[in-house]
Homo-oligomer: A and B are copies of this chain.
Amino acid sequence: MTTPRTSFIDTPQRVLLGPGPSDVPARVLSALARPTIGHLDPVFLQLMDDIRSKLKQVFRTNNEMTLAVSGTGSAGMETLFVNCIEPGDKVLIAINGVFGGRMKDVAERCGAAVETIEAPWGQVFDQDKLIEAIKRVKPKAFAIVHAETSTGAHQPVDRLGAACKEVGALFFLDCVTSLGGAPVEIDAWGVDAAYSGTQKCLSCPPGLSPVTLSSRAVAKLDARKSKVQSWYLDLSMVRQYWGSERFYHHTAPINMLYALHEALSIVLEEGLENRFKRHRANHELLRAGLRELGIEYVSQEGHHLPMLNAVKIPDGVDDLTVRRKLLNDYGIEIGGGLGAFKGKAWRIGLMGHGSSRRNVALLLAALRDALR
């Protein structure tokens, strides 16, 4: 007797040129499908150690507290705030897009007294103005987005760590979209706590959030008077599983960690500098092609993200019609606008494995057709 198969859904092979997830290389998909083993298996613990060592290289940090949180990028964001912020702590957040706004929401849910500094969507902040605000507000933590996925703006942040240190503030950095595609210098920039996602320039499926905490951030965690409000994201316990104690906390997402390990291996085999150069080159190529099509960027000139091109939808062009044509006729996904840019912008990702001359050529050809 054969059993009928229930409702098989055939997932298509897309070309993912949106704001993430990005296309995942076959090597990573194969790793994902390796047989599951136990979360306390000696081989798995060795794999975790190797993930940590590779993440430290990719983050360019010596932080011992570097690990993958068992949730997507937003869980990484929440991990920073629930662990390093206590109720009543003053937090300064820079907002020029969706993800800065999300940090404010998350911080407030942790009981933080949030002050904000804002810039128009698509613009970056002048570091001098940020430094001035940090020195004026003297917060317990200052948080900013390195690569605003909603606007395509690439924020310079190299001078902010020193200012934070001067006033005793922790420096939080969202590098969900930049990590593995553009320089992220945790130690050199004096970043105290950062989080990323796996589904952008690391070219791994979504589901994990790499995070790293400096010794100053860990000291803040250790000095807490109150328990971390999230049990699941409590790093004072999670670190005992990732550390030599190997104390059971929650069951790690085993197969996702296989995939992350493989994805990080690919990143390091290519080399970070080569990878950044490739992202930059394909971005320039796409930009030149978009210019020929008369398409402009919404992000500030000179501050475009190399892995995420946020562009204006040309006048008289219908957002959904074009995106549907790209998806249905070409199997290409690009992103629509978020928040203030909804219906006004497209977000074209060239992330990780997906940043290739082939994808640039394909997208330009398809877009030319769709705009005809």
- Residues on A close to B: CB < 8 A? 3-14, 16, 18, 20-21, 23-24, 29-30, 32-39, 41-44, 46-47, 50, 54, 70-75, 77-78, 102, 105-106, 108-110, 197, 199, 205-207, 227-233, 248-256, 258-259, 261, 265, 268-270, 327, 333, 338
Pair A50/B338 contact, Cβ less than 8 Å? no
The chain B residue sitting closest to A231, CB to CB, is B106
A5 neighbours in B (Cβ, 8 Å): 265, 269
Among the listed B20, B21, B255, which residue makes an inter-chain contact with A207, where contact means beta carbons less than 8 Å apart? Answer: B255
Q: Which of B20, B37, B231 contacts A251 (CB 8 A)?
A: B20
Of the listed residues A3, A46, A207, A259, the one surrounded by the most CB atoms of chain B closer than 10 A to its CB is A207
When the two chains form their complex, are residues A109 and B75 in contact, meaning their CB atoms are under 8 A apart?
A: no
Name A266's closest neighbour in chain B (CB-CB): B6
Bound complex: CA of A29 vs CA of B269, how far in Å? 26
Of all chain B residues, the one with the shortest Cβ separation from A331 is B37
Given A6-B265, A75-B70, decide whether A14 and B33 contact each other with a Cβ distance below 8 A: no
- Per the bound structure, the CA–CA distance linking A7 and B205 in Å amounts to 21
CB distance from A234 to the nearest CB of B (A): 8
In the A-B complex, list the 10 residue pairs whose CB atoms are closest, starting with the nearest.
A207-B253, A33-B33, A74-B250, A205-B255, A29-B33, A206-B251, A6-B265, A106-B231, A38-B333, A3-B269
What are the residues of chain B within 8 A of A7 when measuring CB–CB? 50, 265
List B contacts of A205 (CB < 8 A): 36, 253-256
Residue in A9, A39, A102, A230 with the greatest tally of chain B CB atoms within 10 Å? A9
A7 to B50, CA, bound (A): 8
Please report the C-alpha to C-alpha distance between residue A252 and residue B20 in the assembled complex, in whole angstroms: 11
Q: Which of B12, B38, B42, B105 contacts A231 (CB 8 A)?
A: B105
Do A43 and B9 touch across chains, with their CB atoms under 8 A apart? Answer: yes
Report which of B24, B71, B102, B256 forms a contact with A75, defined as CB distance below 8 A: B71
* Residue in contact with A109 in the complex, picked from B20, B43, B54, B228, CB distance below 8 Å: B228
Contact check, B9 vs A38: say whether CB atoms are below 8 A apart: no
C-alpha gap A197/B253 in the complex (Å): 11
Interface centre among A18, A256, A268 (most CB of B within 10 A): A256
Query: Other CB < 8 Å A-B pairs besides A5-B265, A11-B35, 14 of them?
Result: A7-B265, A9-B46, A21-B37, A38-B333, A41-B327, A71-B232, A72-B250, A73-B251, A108-B227, A109-B227, A109-B230, A206-B254, A248-B338, A255-B256
Interface hub of A3, A47, A229 (most chain B Cβ within 10 A): A229
